[in-house]
Structure 1
């Protein structure tokens, strides 16, 4: 019975969210061309708000934020377990510049809207050309007073996985000279890489800011530990 209810709720979420997205995302793209830059970010926030509403009231997925997300330019390093936190970056942060894999830019309409919003693209191969473009886009975002958001482990991971950080994180940290705010989460407990989502509460744990200027080994170690603070403890 529990699985059946979870399936029905997941189906309701999927239908409502994607039907709403068919309307909202093209409007986001259109608004990006028609309105001044200071209105450019309202569309993506509206879309993320619709996602949050569908997840909360149709999927039964609540969100608890442990700590305070600071305002202004910071480098936010977030654990990545599901699509939930990827979309919610647009809701949780003010005018975020999110580092995303370049393949997402190919999604019809959405990719163009995300590009207009100022997403920062990086390929998994880590080519020198793409890394330079990523650094340039991140610098422009910070100059505009925007926070930069990165999933430093590079891709979505299964619950309990703690891979090493991708090389791009250390490069951004060194170049931007911003405090790093690590964020741990446990979205994989209710939002697995499967159709059926499970009602429950997601926790985002906001870590203390880490100052700029630390050696690479130290910053990577501290961030890796902090973003994995909510991972299950391996049996002894």
Structure 2
């Protein structure tokens, strides 16, 4: 019975989450048209709302550990669910994602994403995509902020191993910026697919930054080791033993 009740609560939460996105998008559209700051304010407001509503509607609390960056750096998070997108963005003053090009056509997400400085990338061919990422990021560096790139490129469930893609290393080499790894256990509570959301505390941990200057291979090895080690620790803390 308790699982059935939690499933219903999760369904209601999921529905209202997208309704809230529409409402926030409509309310903030005039401000977003006037200034990119208006779009940033809208995204932060939505992140705060989801964190608040998740706490009382489905019993899922969110905890931020470590020091979220406020300067111009790259941020490389573990990606397990839509919630980590919101929590990581909401923790920083001026985040901007590298995201799949198709998302720029998504209602609200696409328009506001482009307005806050997100960079769409066509991932059809890896070599072309990497060059495009570097060129687009360099062209947009005048807009200060925290560049967020998911090093595995997609959502990966807890306990599943997947390769880290070289695009993050290419940006690290070309941009010469520090990289802040981020670990999480949110996938234990909010899976990649399905309606069910579990009760508990999802942790998002900003790890010590990796300074520029390493060889790409060494950087990639260190990035993967630090994110995976910390995420495995957080998964175990959440009761996941897979």
1:71 aligns to what?
Answer: 70
Report the alpha carbon displacement of residue 43 of structure 1 after superposing the two structures with TM: 1.2
1:122 aligns to what?
Answer: 121
1:165 aligns to what?
Answer: 164
1:211 aligns to what?
Answer: 211
TM-score in terms of structure 2 length: 0.88
Aligned 1:11-50 pairs, distance under 5 A = 11-33=11-33, 35-50=34-49
Partner Cα distance (2:187, 2:86) in 1: 15
Is 2:176 the counterpart of 1:185? Answer: no
Report the alpha carbon displacement of residue 194 of structure 1 after superposing the two structures with TM: 1.3
Partner Cα distance (1:191, 1:2) in 2: 17
Partner Cα distance (1:87, 1:37) in 2: 18
Task: Determine helix, strand or coil for the equivalent of 1:169.
Answer: helix
1:202 aligns to what?
Answer: 202
**Per-residue CA shift, 1:58-99, capped at 9, x if unaligned?**
121111222111221111110011111112233111111111
Q: 1:128 to 1:230 in 2, by over 3 A?
A: closer
Partner Cα distance (1:208, 1:153) in 2: 19
2:9 aligns to what?
Answer: 9
1:97 aligns to what?
Answer: 96
How many residues end up aligned between the 2 structures? 234
**Per-residue CA shift, 1:165-186, capped at 9, x if unaligned?**
1121111111111111111111
1:110 aligns to what?
Answer: 109
Question: What root-mean-square deviation, in Å, do the aligned CA atoms of Structure 1 and Structure 2 show?
Answer: 2.1
Q: Is the 8 A contact 2:29 2:39 kept in 1?
A: no
Partner Cα distance (1:173, 1:223) in 2: 11
TM-score in terms of structure 1 length: 0.90
**Gaps (5+ residues) in structure 1?**
none
Q: Which runs of 4+ in 1 moved over 4 A?
A: 127-130, 232-235
